[in-house]
């Protein structure tokens, strides 16, 4: 009889049971060796493609695993969730698959594309309520509605059945690739990292498991430092699939046990990775889905010659975000800079700026006067794109050399926030 290594909170046997439960419901997503990344890092990089899941993310696994274990009476009464993203879509699909009526609470500001996608997966089995200006208000309304109507709330990450469902990603990985040296997994609320980490530490204890968070939302990192979950005052919500103010109580306890390391990745590097995956491999990854790949350069020396698995957690990326993604990537690489410039009040000042200050390969990508009246005397917003990072020093030197009155917006967080 096989002896399982037991973690204090989630049992590997329950993850295996979840895998059986999900058979025929979720897609067994491919584990694909990526030639470009393998060559770049001189190792074998395998991508677990949860972006190819039925609802384009792993979230279906946890939602269905929990809902399928409810009693027929609870299912008939109905279920509720609060989400503006992948959890809502997994929940909606599960409602349709199980024939249960579900109510999904979404913030009023949720993009129409995500609302329509969720409705597409759930069809007539779901009712979407747009409530609150942010997720916290939305979640509070959902829980109040659940209590008032005697329904069952399906949380996005902090429940054993949710964690067990997400852990089935690890079951599929080890079925195909038993020898894994490094596993990189994105961390938001902690459900995926808790589930996959538990399974790997049981069946592949030698694997070094790394949780990856966006730099602007380090909720698990701060929780591990404090030795308990903490609520962050503010977060950057750009990596929306992994940007939470507070991780779960249960997910924290599990992750503290099964994660070997936690890493933070700048949002700009995530954007660069998204574009690189699309241009080189035709992979459409959402920001959270690119986290596990974006972090690889920080482990380049350690992963050389190793078998590395990165979980691409989802692909629900709104095409309307692509200009922002490109913008953030260019800024991260030091190729895009914004200035407020007060041109001298004389003919030819702008022409001299173009001829004398800009380098031969520099491009003005944005130019607008900041005042509706008296444009000639007011400052102008100028966006400049460089071909190489090193060109920045020459640009600044020329601005000083020709006595240009300028301010760098990139270095002013408050002003810069209005541009991105």
Distance spanning both ends of the chain, measured CA to CA: 57
CA torsion sign for 249, 253, 255, 260 is positive
Counting runs of H as helices and runs of E as strands, what totals does the chain give? 19, 14
Strand 79-82 relative to strand 102-106, pairing: parallel
Q: Cα separation of 403 and 398, whole Å?
A: 8
- DSSP-derived letter for residue 390 is T
Q: Cα separation of 83 and 141, whole Å?
A: 12
| Cβ neighbours of 8 (radius 10 Å) | 9
3-state secondary structure of 89: helix
Look up residue 89 and give its two tokens. Answer: 């879509």
Q: Which of 57, 83, 204, 313 is catalytic?
A: 313
Report the half-sphere exposure of 228 (CA within 13 A, side-chain side). 0
Q: Cα separation of 324 and 154, whole Å?
A: 32
Q: Cα separation of 31 and 47, whole Å?
A: 6
Residue whose C-alpha is closest to residue 324's, from 392, 418, 259? 418
**Sheet strands (E) in 86-133:** 102-106, 126-130
Q: Cα separation of 409 and 415, whole Å?
A: 6
Chain position carrying tokens 């022409």: 351
Q: Which of 48, 59, 97, 201 is catalytic?
A: 59
Taking the CA atoms of residue 80, residue 124, residue 287 and residue 410 in that order, the dihedral angle to the nearest 10 degrees is -90
Look up residue 129 and give its two tokens. Answer: 């309520």
**Residue 59 designated active-site:** yes
Strand order in the sheet with 363-369: 363-369, 380-385, 336-342, 405-408
Q: What share of the chain is helix, strand, coil (3-state, %, to 5)?
A: 50, 20, 35
Q: Cα separation of 7 and 250, whole Å?
A: 12
Q: Cα separation of 349 and 23, whole Å?
A: 69
**Residue 361 designated active-site:** no
Q: Cα separation of 358 and 366, whole Å?
A: 14
Active site residues: 59, 313
């Amino acid at each position: 009889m096989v002896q399982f290594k037991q973690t204090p909170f989630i049992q590997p046997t329950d993850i295996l049971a979840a895998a059986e439960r999900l058979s025929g419901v979720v897609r067994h997503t491919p584990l694909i060796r990526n030639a470009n990344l393998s060559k770049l890092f001189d190792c074998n990089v395998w991508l677990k493609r949860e972006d190819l899941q039925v609802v384009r993310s792993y979230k279906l696994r946890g939602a269905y695993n929990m809902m399928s274990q409810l009693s027929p009476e609870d299912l008939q009464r109905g279920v509720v969730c609060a989400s503006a993203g992948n959890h809502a879509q997994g929940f909606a699909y599960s409602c349709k698959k199980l024939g249960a009526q579900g109510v999904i609470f979404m913030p009023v500001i949720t993009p129409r594309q995500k609302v329509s996608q969720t409705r597409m997966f759930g069809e007539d089995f779901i009712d979407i309520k747009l409530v609150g200006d942010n997720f916290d208000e939305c979640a509070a309304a959902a829980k109040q509605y659940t209590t008032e109507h005697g329904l069952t709330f399906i949380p996005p990450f902090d429940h054993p059945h949710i964690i067990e469902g997400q852990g089935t990603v690890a079951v599929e990985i080890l079925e195909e690739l038993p020898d894994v040296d490094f596993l990189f997994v994105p961390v938001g609320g902690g459900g995926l990292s808790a589930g996959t980490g538990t399974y790997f530490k049981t069946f592949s204890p030698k694997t070094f498991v790394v949780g990856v968070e966006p730099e602007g939302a380090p909720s698990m990192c701060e929780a591990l430092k404090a030795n308990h979950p903490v609520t962050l005052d503010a977060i950057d919500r750009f990596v929306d699939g992994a940007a939470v103010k507070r991780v779960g109580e249960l997910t924290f306890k599990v992750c503290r046990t099964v994660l070997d390391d936690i890493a933070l990745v700048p949002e700009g590097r995530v954007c660069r990775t998204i574009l690189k995956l699309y241009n080189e491999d035709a992979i459409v990854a959402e920001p959270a889905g690119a986290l596990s790949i974006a972090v690889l350069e920080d482990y380049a020396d350690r992963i050389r010659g190793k078998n590395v698995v990165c979980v691409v957690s989802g692909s629900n990326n709104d095409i309307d975000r692509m200009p922002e993604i490109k913008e953030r990537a260019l800024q991260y690489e030091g190729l895009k800079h914004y200035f407020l410039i007060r041109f001298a009040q004389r003919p030819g000042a702008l022409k001299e700026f173009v001829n004398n200050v800009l380098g031969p390969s520099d491009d003005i990508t944005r130019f607008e006067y900041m005042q509706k009246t008296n444009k000639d005397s007011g400052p102008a917003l100028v966006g400049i794109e460089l071909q190489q990072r090193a060109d920045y020093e020459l640009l600044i030197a020329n601005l000083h050399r020709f006595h240009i009155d300028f301010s760098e917006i990139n270095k002013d967080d408050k002003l810069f926030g209005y541009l991105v």
